Every structure is written in structure tokens, then in C-alpha cells.
């Protein structure tokens, strides 16, 4: 009987990509995926610590897993991602003694080595065969989608820049994901090719500061060059990238988005705050005026592009007046979407070491609601222009009785259709607009749905 694995993932798209990669490696060793942790032989938690809330959820999950381990001492437990960081120093081992193996973000090797050692200890398991498979899994880079994802993956995340060297004062990521390093174009193109051969039709290129892609190369080769090369893949329909940093949004990059048809007119450029004192304390490296100019440059080249942003409210010392600058900037710029967070103090960051977390949670919540309302009003208005328009949608999943997909500018669209349309590119007429999604009808197929590859054998309860 095959062994079963279960991976639990929270946090960013990078974690989703890492979990997919790990699942694929485990399946190459003969493991089958199960969605039920209580019937797994191996459970992995891929964690996020960007805010306290995410960390708390991971700790909650660990408690649940500790109960499973008590019932089944043979259960193997892995902890991965930003909770672990680049090197586990023994601190987590002490706190969670039932965890067998710790993996830094994007690094599955510790688990592979652990499984190889286990095989050596256990004479019943065909150690040699398994170890060979493990060596292959480490070197593989075949990017086979895990069986359960083979039937459903229209969009796949592909990391292109790992780590981050920017050190914004609020952010824990550089401490947990290590220094910034770009993957080679060859590696990325190979991964994209493997993914599209398995049905994937849209690729999201990922980096903490994705527009710094290639800054660490000897030869000049940047994100615009990469977009062009990735677009050369004939099976691929769409490309997106995130997250941008305002300081690296070059005209060359914006023009590449305009000129390469497969690249979607969709930018993710976090502003974080609209006040220069707060931006300075955050060490973001730009002023509100600089940010305005970036948005103006994007709109001059691509007037209809979606521009999304991230905002943190309640950063240490942020006065009400300073906060209102953020509010005013958002109102002025009419950005499409705001990923909004209340400041959460994170261990070892510059802010945690030097600035008291002095805004009460009720006040943070009040500011959050004000921005949220503003953002909703803007997006409601901006979405109105789609009423009765024809939009192009890539169908990415089914939600109850409706298909769900996105426009090139990342608007979520729902529509009813009896046909099997997963992966299809369709034109739709918008019948209703709202802040969070558009409703549409009359699908006209531009590119037929993909034929999902049937998984051979899947472990389900």
C-alpha cells in the first residue's frame, strides 16, 4: 500500500509554488496525496509569518498535528517555510519536539535527506530504490504537477526571484527567505515549458521584488527580457508578475507589458503608506510624490492597466494626519485594488527593535475600515465601465454552479454555462458589476478548454 502525504499551505503564492514542488517530489517517490491529515503517513505544514495572525494559524495547525502524532507515533511531520527561516537553530525543535524535519522556504532537501535516512534505518523498505528516487527527486526539476492538481491547474505560480535584500523596517521576509537571488532564465523557461505541457495556460512570475529580477546577473538581463522569452512559449496564453517595487518599475518593463500581448496589463505595486515620514520610517526608499510619478508613467504607457497596491495602517508612530495622507493618496490615484493590513510587529525587524508598536488595535481597525471603504468605493466605480462590455476571460475553476475566471486586468468574472470550459479562453458580455467581481454571460470560445490529464491513482477519503 502506498504511503500518503498531506501538505497544508498558507501565505503567499511563493508558498503555493513550493508546496506544489514538494508534492511533485513526494509523488515521484511513490507517495499519494491525501486531503485528510489524519490518514496521512507524512504531513507537511508550509507556513507564513508575515503577520502574527498567519503565525498563530500555523501554531494552531501544529497543535492539531501533535494530537495526530500522539495517536500515531509513526506519523512523520515536516515544517516548512517562513516559520522555519533559512536555518532552524533548535528553537523550534524545542518548542515543537514532535516535528521531525524543518525546511527553509523553497528548500525541500532536508525532507528528502530525512526520508533517505529513514529508509536506511528501516530494512523493510527497499532502501536502495527509494534512495535512488530521492536523489532523482532532488536533482529532478521535472516539475510534474501533483496528481490532484493535474486535473485543475490552469494558472501556476513560478518563483523567479527568491529571497529579498531590501529590509523594509516592518518586514520579516528578508530574515526568513534569505538574500535576494534570481533563478536563471533557463531554469524558469524549462519550468514553464513543463507546466504548459501539462495544461497550464497562465503563469504568474513571482518575487518579493520581482522587478529586480536579474539585478544579480553579470550579463544584463531583466524582467522585461524574461517576459519576452517566457511569451515565446506557444502553449501559454497569459503571463503576470508580482510583486513590483515602485523604484524598479522601469519604462522598459512597462513597455514590455504593453507590447507583449500575452503579458496582462496588471501591476502589483505596493505603496504601503502615503506619508513621507511614515515611508521614511518604513525605509521604503521613495516618497509619495515618487509613487505618484510611477503611477503616472504606467498610465501614460498603459492607460487601462489595473494597478493594485498594498497598504499597512497603524505603523508605529503613524498619526491620524499621516494616516489621512495615505487615504488621500489612494483617493487621488484611484488604484484598482488594495491589499490591506494592520501593522503587526514582527520579531527582529528594525521596527520591532526601534519603534514601539504604539497604535491601539481599535485605532488600527478604525483606519483599516476607512481605507477599506475608500477602496471599495473606488473599485465599484472603476468596475462600472465594464457594464455591457465584452471581456476576455481565462476560465480557471468552477465555483458551485458557475465558472470563474479573470480578465487580463485581473477582474474576477463569474458566469453560468453548461459546457465543460476549464482552461478555455472566452469572450463574455458583462451583465452586472460590483466591487469584487463581474457577472457575465454568452461565452464565445476563443481557445477551447484543455483536456485535463486524468490522475492515475489518487488517495481520497
Q: What is the smallest separation between the CB atom of 356 and ligand SAH, expressed in angstroms?
A: 14
Q: What is the smallest separation between the CB atom of 212 and ligand SAH, expressed in angstroms?
A: 10
Q: What is the smallest separation between the CB atom of 64 and ligand SAH, expressed in angstroms?
A: 25
Torsion over CA: 185, 284, 53, 99 (sign):
positive
- Nearest partner of 334 among 389, 271, 275, judged by Cα: 271
Q: What is the smallest separation between the CB atom of 345 and ligand SAH, expressed in angstroms?
A: 7
- Residues 288 and 290: their CA atoms lie apart, in Å, by 5
Q: Is there a cis peptide before residue 178, judged by omega within 30 degrees of 0?
A: no
For ligand SAH, the closer of residues 33 and 272 by Cβ is 272
Q: What is the smallest separation between the CB atom of 341 and ligand SAH, expressed in angstroms?
A: 4
- Residues 138 and 456: their CA atoms lie apart, in Å, by 23
Q: What is the smallest separation between the CB atom of 351 and ligand SAH, expressed in angstroms?
A: 7
For ligand SAH, the closer of residues 173 and 330 by Cβ is 173
Q: What is the smallest separation between the CB atom of 354 and ligand SAH, expressed in angstroms?
A: 14
CA angle, residues 263, 213, 341, in degrees to nearest 5: 80
For ligand SAH, the closer of residues 285 and 455 by Cβ is 285
CA distances from 69 to 26, 32, 37 (A): 20, 19, 11
For ligand SAH, the closer of residues 279 and 421 by Cβ is 279
Q: What is the smallest separation between the CB atom of 361 and ligand SAH, expressed in angstroms?
A: 12
Write out the residues near ligand SAH by the rule CB under 6 A.
50-51, 170-171, 173, 208-209, 243, 245, 270, 272, 310, 312, 341, 343-344, 346
Q: What is the smallest separation between the CB atom of 49 and ligand SAH, expressed in angstroms?
A: 9
Q: What is the smallest separation between the CB atom of 317 and ligand SAH, expressed in angstroms?
A: 14
DSSP string for 100-145: -EEE-TT--HHHHHHHHHHHHH-TTS-HHHHHHHHHHHHHH---PP
CA distances from 342 to 89, 151, 310, 315, 432 (A): 30, 37, 11, 8, 32
For ligand SAH, the closer of residues 171 and 394 by Cβ is 171
Which helix (H) or strand (E) segment holds residue 198: the answer is none
For ligand SAH, the closer of residues 13 and 152 by Cβ is 13
Q: What is the smallest separation between the CB atom of 164 and ligand SAH, expressed in angstroms?
A: 6
Torsion angle (degrees, nearest 10) of CA 446, 397, 7, 452: -50
For ligand SAH, the closer of residues 51 and 411 by Cβ is 51
For ligand SAH, the closer of residues 294 and 391 by Cβ is 294
DSSP string for 244-256: --GGG--HHHHHH
- Residues 208 and 173: their CA atoms lie apart, in Å, by 9
CA distances from 9 to 13, 45, 254 (A): 10, 6, 32
Strand pairing of 425-433 and 438-447? antiparallel
- Residues 437 and 5: their CA atoms lie apart, in Å, by 35
Helix (H, G, I), strand (E, B) or coil at 51: coil
- Nearest partner of 295 among 280, 278, 274, 321, judged by Cα: 274
For ligand SAH, the closer of residues 21 and 346 by Cβ is 346
For ligand SAH, the closer of residues 50 and 253 by Cβ is 50
- Residues 457 and 461: their CA atoms lie apart, in Å, by 13
- C-beta of residue 119 within 8 angstroms of C-beta of residue 127: yes
For ligand SAH, the closer of residues 26 and 351 by Cβ is 351
Amino acid at each position: 500500500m502506498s504511503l500518503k502525504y498531506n501538505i497544508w499551505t498558507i501565505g503567499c503564492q511563493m508558498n503555493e509554488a513550493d508546496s506544489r514542488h514538494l508534492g511533485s517530489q513526494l509523488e515521484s517517490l511513490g507517495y499519494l496525496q491525501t486531503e485528510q491529515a489524519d490518514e496521512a503517513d507524512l504531513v507537511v505544514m508550509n507556513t507564513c509569518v508575515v503577520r502574527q495572525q498567519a503565525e498563530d494559524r500555523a501554531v494552531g495547525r501544529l497543535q492539531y498535528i501533535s494530537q495526530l502524532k500522539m495517536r500515531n507515533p509513526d506519523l512523520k511531520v515536516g515544517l516548512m517555510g517562513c516559520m522555519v527561516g533559512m536555518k532552524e537553530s533548535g528553537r523550534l525543535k524545542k518548542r515543537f519536539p514532535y516535528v521531525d524535519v524543518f525546511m527553509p522556504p523553497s528548500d525541500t532537501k532536508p525532507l528528502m535527506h530525512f526520508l533517505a535516512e529513514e529508509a536506511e534505518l528501516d530494512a523493510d523498505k527497499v532502501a536502495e530504490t527509494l534512495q535512488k528516487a530521492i536523489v532523482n527527486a532532488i536533482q529532478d526539476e521535472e516539475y510534474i504537477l501533483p496528481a490532484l492538481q493535474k486535473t485543475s491547474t490552469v494558472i501556476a505560480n513560478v518563483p523567479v526571484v527568491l529571497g529579498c535584500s531590501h529590509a523594509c523596517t516592518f518586514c520579516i521576509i528578508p530574515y526568513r527567505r534569505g538574500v535576494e537571488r534570481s533563478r536563471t532564465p533557463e531554469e524558469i523557461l524549462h519550468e514553464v515549458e513543463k507546466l504548459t505541457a501539462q495544461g497550464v495556460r497562465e503563469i504568474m512570475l513571482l518575487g518579493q521584488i520581482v522587478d529586480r529580477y536579474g539585478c544579480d546577473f553579470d550579463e544584463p538581463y531583466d524582467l522585461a527580457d524574461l517576459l519576452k522569452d517566457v511569451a515565446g512559449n506557444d502553449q501559454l496564453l497569459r503571463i503576470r508578475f508580482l510583486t513590483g517595487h515602485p523604484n524598479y518599475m522601469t519604462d522598459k518593463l512597462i513597455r514590455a507589458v504593453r507590447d507583449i500581448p500575452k503579458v496582462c496589463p496588471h501591476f502589483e505595486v505596493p505603496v504601503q503608506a502615503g506619508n513621507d515620514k511614515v515611508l521614511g520610517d518604513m525605509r521604503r526608499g521613495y516618497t509619495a510624490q515618487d509613487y505618484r510619478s510611477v503611477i503616472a508613467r504606467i498610465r501614460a504607457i498603459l492607460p487601462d492597466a489595473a494597478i493594485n497596491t498594498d497598504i499597512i495602517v497603524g505603523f508605529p508612530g503613524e498619526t491620524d494626519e499621516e494616516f489621512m495622507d495615505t487615504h488621500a493618496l489612494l483617493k487621488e490615484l484611484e488604484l484598482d485594488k488594495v491589499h490591506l493590513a494592520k501593522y503587526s510587529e514582527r520579531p527582529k525587524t528594525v521596527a520591532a527593535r526601534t519603534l514601539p508598536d504604539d497604535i491601539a488595535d481599535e485605532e488600527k481597525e478604525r483606519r483599516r475600515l476607512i481605507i477599506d471603504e475608500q477602496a471599495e468605493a473606488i473599485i465599484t466605480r472603476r468596475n462600472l465601465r465594464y457594464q455591457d462590455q465584452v471581456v476576455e476571460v481565462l476560465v480557471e475553476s468552477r465555483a458551485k454552479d458557475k465558472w470563474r475566471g479573470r480578465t487580463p486586468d485581473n477582474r474576477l468574472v463569474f458566469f453560468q454555462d453548461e459546457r465543460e470550459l476549464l482552461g478555455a479562453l472566452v469572450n463574455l458580455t458583462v451583465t452586472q458589476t460590483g466591487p469584487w467581481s463581474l457577472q457575465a454571460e454568452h461565452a464565445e470560445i476563443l481557445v477551447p478548454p484543455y483536456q485535463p490529464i486524468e490522475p492515475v491513482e489518487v488517495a481520497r477519503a
